[in-house]
Chains A and B, each alone.
Chain A
């Protein structure tokens, strides 16, 4: 689980606040992903990026936005958090040349009250 870092690990915020979840990787991977996962449930892809200045929405509609200005950094932003955004957010990266699996961060558990 090393080499890809997510901060914060836990976050409790009030409704309407703007938040940014950070994700950084040191492996030089070109592809990065954000997944949303409720406890004990499946993963839902909400955003992905195939390289700098490339971002796409995933399979699950999300009110969040992402940016990829640098290869190593893929932050996710919620402009106005709501209780329905309460979930775990997992960041991952992969190397399209190696195609040998994803490396995941430890996740950010977000609670919106």
Chain B
């Protein structure tokens, strides 16, 4: 069964450092998303991406965040200068098209120290 894969599974970084979280969506999917889950809390929408541009972003997704699909297969989330409160699980999800199911990756646990 096709799956969304995310790397790394766990990243520890110092406050103020840049991190890049990587996702490989399912190959024929067209819509890509990042969600965040702070430990013990709900899953929060960060950003959606379609046709090589951001289609929507939440208030969490400020200027420190950016997304890119550099090579047609990877989908990345970059946090320019990490803060302690960025510590969370970050999930990538992809959809084939409207009215289809979202498939989530297993997540990257980001720990900012």
A and B are partners in one complex rather than unrelated chains: no
**B-contacting residues of A (Cβ < 8 Å)?**
none
Chain B residues with CB under 8 Å of chain A are none
